[in-house]
Amino acid sequence: MATTTTKKDLVDRISELTGHKRPVVREVVQMFLDQITEELRDGRRLEFRDFGIFEVKTRRARRAQNPKTLERVDVPPKRTVKFKVGRLLREGLDHLSPPLSTPVIEPKPRRARTAARAV
């Protein structure tokens, strides 16, 4: 099972690595997160080179169905954040081995294509 790292954990780690006091690091981290939130709220795209890209996408309105009552429901459009992984982050993740509890699923072998069939 994956463990969760909290903002407090990051603040503690950054404080130890930089030698800055925790309240100062906490304030800087919070300011950074506030700025990300503000940029996305205003519909702007955030690009952190080699880490990834955050951008706001709008989901269209749609009709859905309540699975319990089978009643049709109108779902309004909504904005959501999309994250596209950057090169260095992707490479860093590719070097991790999967946790022991996660099954590794091998892709099915593809059949070789045959020549066009004569009719």
Domains and CATH numbers, the chain: 7-94 (4.10.520.10)
Q: Give the tokens for residue 21.
A: 């006091």
The reported pTM is 0.66
Per-residue pLDDT reduced to its tens digit, 30-68: 999 999 999 999 999 999 999 999 999 999 999 999 999
Mean pLDDT, range 5-30, rounded to an integer: 96
**Residue 65 and residue 71 in contact, taking contact as beta carbons nearer than 8 Å:** yes
Mind listing the pLDDT tens digit for each residue in 73-102? 999 999 999 999 999 988 888 887 666 565
Better-predicted residue by pLDDT, 119 or 43: 43
For 23, residues 6+ apart whose C-beta sits below 8 A from its C-beta are: none
Measured CA to CA, the distance from residue 115 to residue 31 in angstroms comes to: 62
